[in-house]
Amino acid sequence: MRYDLKLALLSIRRNPVLSVLIIAAIGLGIGVFMILLTAYHLLERNPLPQKSEQVYRVLVDAWDLNGEPSQGVWRSGEPPYMMTYIDAMNLMTSDVPTYHAAMFQSVMYLQPADPHPSIKRPFRVTARVTFSGFFPMFDTPFVYGGGWASASDEGPDPVVVISSETNDRLFGGADSIGNSIDLNGTLFTIVGVMDRWRPTPLFYNFMTLGLGVSPPADVFIPFHFFERMQLGNNGADMGWKRWDPGFENWLQSESTWLQFWAQLDSNEQKAQYLDFLDSYATEQKKVGRFQRPLNNRVYDVMTWIKAVTYPLNGPALVFLILGILYLFVCIINLVGMLLGKFLGRMHEVSVRRALGAPRSAIFRQHLFEVALLGLLGGLLGLGISQLVLTIIRARFDLLETLFSLDGYLLGVALGVSLLAGLVAGLLPAWRACSAAPAIYLSTE
């Protein structure tokens, strides 16, 4: 092994330009492949690894008998992916889940409550309008303070959680708990400053997967301010039944637009909650709603992500296949270069054969060399992909944990580069060891 390593290093040193070209070919192939694999991997990422199997998207089938919810990614036979206001408010009365929260995204205008040295005019912010259960259910990190108490949901109390980016902008990153901000003309007291948080994919939303490019929201306010302030929904809104114009009519409509999540810590709790949903649906049937057969579901985080990201997986898969094809092209080039490199030293191989080296030893020696070249190429490829990913992260202000090479991807990179080197090296190594030594010895 040490002798093979010594010979491999000697061979690299003997032909540095060709060796560098080979390493570069592997490096480029691996680099491009890893960037595309990282992007693909992002879509399969678990954004809530510590409890993704306890947190569920809740779906109830409030659609009409004949139509089908055409919600883009909707798959036949499934309930609509969002929920009506009526159903969401009714489900919020359940005491089965450990935590639960209806939510949606809105747009508000924020203005510092006190004179600010640079912000003179209100600016547009994204607001997540939700319940107190949102924060403990999703384990949101905080720099200062925390989420609001459940009692504040009912008031509702004018409390707000702001993102660290908003806190940086308004308060220069200082502890702003107890300060107030003006949102759409109402003063809200800051109770929590969220730490930099990029759930990726942004699983709790519908279709807006986020991919960690921006904060999930700039501010978070108690849900019931939505009715008081008549906030608009800045997301999808789909229904099967027309309603008369007006805010109140919209609330009472069959339009689905709210996301609903619940934390169910055990199978018993889950079964109990599904019973609750079925009972609720049965009750609704009695009052003329829920015309379809019982079809209530809860999807854990990863099942939900697969359900809503599968249309994105197609293009991502295409890119991944392109990456594999590029790697394949690199391997083909590599075969040519390795053939040139190995056949160029047939004299030495023949001398070794004459001195007693069996074919297997020559084959092993050459495979060892390509494995080493493959690993060096893999390291170069990792460097290239790391550099490109760093540029992408800096360009889009992504968290370091996102769009980065984790242990799995590092393992894949080194494994693939080793495999690519070995695959490319099989034919050249075989040619090198199977040539008749006498020819090269006598012609030298």
Partner 1 sequence: MLSMSDITKIFRTELVETHALRGFNLEVAEGDFVSISGPSGSGKTTFLNIAGLLETFESGTYEMDGQDVSKLNDRERSHLRNEKIGFIFQSFNLIPDLNLFDNVDVPLRYRGFNGKERKKRIDNALELVGLSTRMKHLPSQLSGGQQQRVAIARALAGEPRFLLADEPTGNLDSEMAGQVLDLITDINRSGTTILMVTHEHDLASRAQRQVHIVDGRVTDVTTAVKPEN
* Site for partner 1, rule CB under 8 A: 3, 10, 13-14, 347-348, 351-361, 436-438, 441-442, 444
DSSP letter assigned to residue 256 = B
Count of residues for the chain?
A: 444
Residue 432: CB minimum distance to partner 1, A: 14
The tokens of 374 are what? 């493959």
CA distance 364 to 47: 44
Q: What one-character DSSP code corresponds to residue 379?
A: H
Calpha distance 334→241 (Å, rounded): 62
Least distance from C-beta 197 to partner 1, angstroms?
Answer: 57
Q: In the complex with partner 1, which residue's Cβ is closer, 106 or 350?
A: 350
For the bound state, the minimum distance from the C-beta of residue 303 to partner 1, rounded and expressed in Å, comes to 56
Nearer to partner 1, 174 or 436 (CB): 436
Cβ distance to partner 1 smaller for residue 177 or 441? 441
**For the residues of 338-363, what is the DSSP string, one character each?**
HHHHHHTTHHHHHHHHHTT--HHHHH
Q: How far is the CB of 302 from partner 1 (least distance, A)?
A: 52
* Calculated CA dihedral for residues 210, 216, 217, 220, nearest 10 degrees: 140
Instruction: Indicate the helix (H) or strand (E) that contains 181.
Output: strand 180-183
Structure tokens given for 437:
């030594």
Choose between 270 and 341: whose C-beta lies nearer to partner 1: 341
**For residues 341 and 352, which CB has a smaller minimum distance to partner 1 in the complex?**
352
413's tokens: 């990179």
Ramachandran assignment for 230, one of left (phi > 0), alpha (psi -120 to 50 degrees), beta (any other): left
Q: How far is the CB of 438 from partner 1 (least distance, A)?
A: 4
Straight-line distance from the first to the last Cα atom of the chain, in angstroms, rounded to the nearest whole number: 29
Nearest residue to 131 via CA among 100, 93, 158, 159: 100
In the complex, least distance from residue 373 CB atom to partner 1, rounded to whole angstroms: 18
* C-alpha span between 215 and 205 (Å, rounded): 13
Rounded to a whole number of angstroms, the minimum distance from the CB of residue 15 to partner 1 is: 10
Cis? peptide before 201, omega within 30° of 0: yes
CA distance 83 to 103: 10
Nearest residue (CB) to partner 1, 51 versus 364: 364
Residue among 386, 297, 379 nearest 74 (CA): 297
Q: Report in angstroms how near the CB of residue 54 gets to partner 1 at its nearest.
A: 60
Residues sharing a CB contact under 8 Å with residue 2, sequence separation 6 or more, in sequence order: none
**Beta carbon nearer to partner 1, 38 or 350:** 350
Residue 443 CB, nearest approach to partner 1 (Å): 10
The 3-state secondary structure of 219-252, one letter per residue: EEEECCHHHHHCCCCCCCCECCCCCCCCHHHHHC
Residue closer to partner 1 (CB basis): 174 or 439: 439
CB closer to partner 1 out of 356 and 407:
356
Comparing CB distances to partner 1, the nearer of 352 and 366 is 352
Amino acid at 255: S
For residue 161, the Cα-to-chain-centroid distance in whole angstroms is: 24
Cα dihedral 143, 154, 276, 86, rounded to 10, equals -110
- Least distance from partner 1 to the Cβ atom of residue 332, Å: 29
**Closest to partner 1 by CB, 174 or 438:** 438
Question: What is the rounded distance in angstroms from the CA atom of residue 283 to the CA atom of residue 156?
Answer: 28
Q: In the complex, what is the shortest distance from the CB of residue 340 to partner 1, in angstroms, rounded to a whole number? A: 18
Taking a C-beta distance cutoff of 8 angstroms, is the pair 118, 111 a contact? Answer: no
